[in-house]
Amino acid sequence: MTKVQINCPSCSKTGSIEISPNLIKDSLRGLLAINIAKDIICPHSFIAYIDKNLNVRDYFVADFQIELPQMTPEEISKADKIPSKDIVDIDLIKLNIPAMLLTYVLRSIFLKQNIILIQDQEFLHNHIQNFFKYITQNSFEMDIIIITEEMYKNDKKNYKDSMVFERINILRNVKNRINPKKLSVEKQIVSRFVTEVGLSYSYIFLKNDILKAFEFSKAIVDLINEIKEKNEKVNTLKISTELEKMYNIKINTIYLNFLIEIVKYYFGATLPSITDSFLKT
């Protein structure tokens, strides 16, 4: 076992963890994402990216751990055929799409925003485009354009209605739809993806978490329409309870608010706030 020094990106406290050399050897292209649970270094939890030379390259803070709803094995998508390396090189994706950027892109997809990614390495463009097509297959429609920095500068005015990202920087935030402090669910989804060493599992976890968000929010829209057809008042808490029964899941408040935003911005339906629904029960 080898010790690696870790600095918490939230409080700067320093500590060390032990890593098996086999993990580094087996990691994708020598870059390993290690989940640092709270109280190992300090009270915070985060992800450390460690290269093959045991140097910490970056950190990703997932705010805090929240429990994502779990569907039964029969309900989640089966192990689809994973794209070949020629179509999507997941090694390159994990190296060139930082966790924070993936978080921003998922947020934009969930809220039905057009997306511009600035990436000067043009050989990556098809891999990135195919990656997002695969993980949103049978769920969210997405509009992602990948261009070079020069192309963006020469045609910037045509992208004023799009979310624009360059690495972890938000160059254009349409209507301030992305609040970096309110991305708990998206960060949790991304954390599962980046810390899973197994190629197939990392793909499947990510795709299924996205599919669940789509199916749950679409089911909410269907429930809203049924209630309106009966000329009854829509109550978010009652809809949440019905959703839990339909899928045999538990939904916490954070995840429910996440679904409410998808219902509003992606599907164009409205729900009263949880507070208002509680007062009217």
How confident is the chain (281 residues) per 10-residue block, as mean pLDDT?
Answer: 87 88 62 82 86 82 70 49 80 84 97 96 93 94 95 92 94 94 91 76 86 95 93 91 92 93 95 69 52
pLDDT reported for residue 90: 80
Indicate the pTM of the whole model: 0.83
Exposure class string for 228-266: b at 16+ Cβ within 10 A, else e: eeeeeebbbbbbbebbeeebebebeebbbebbbbbbeeb
Token couple for 160? 């004023």
Beta strands in 149-246 (DSSP E): 163-166, 169-172
Strand, coil or helix: 223:
helix
206: exposed, middle or buried (C-beta count within 10 Å: 0-12, 13-18, 19+)?
A: buried
> What is the per-residue pLDDT for 196?
74
| Residue 267 to residues 197, 214, 224, Cα–Cα distance (Å) | 34, 10, 12
Strand 115-118 relative to strand 144-147: parallel, antiparallel, unpaired? Answer: parallel
Beta-strand pair 32-36/2-7: unpaired
What's the pLDDT score for residue 80? Answer: 60
Give CA–CA dist 41/60, Å, rounded.
15
Per the document, the length of the chain is 281
The pLDDT value recorded for residue 142 is 94
Helix pair 199-229, 99-110: axis angle to 10 deg: 20
Q: How far apart are CA 151 and CA 148, in angstroms?
A: 5
Residue with token string 């708990």: 184
Q: Look at residue 79 in the predicted model and tell me its pLDDT.
A: 46
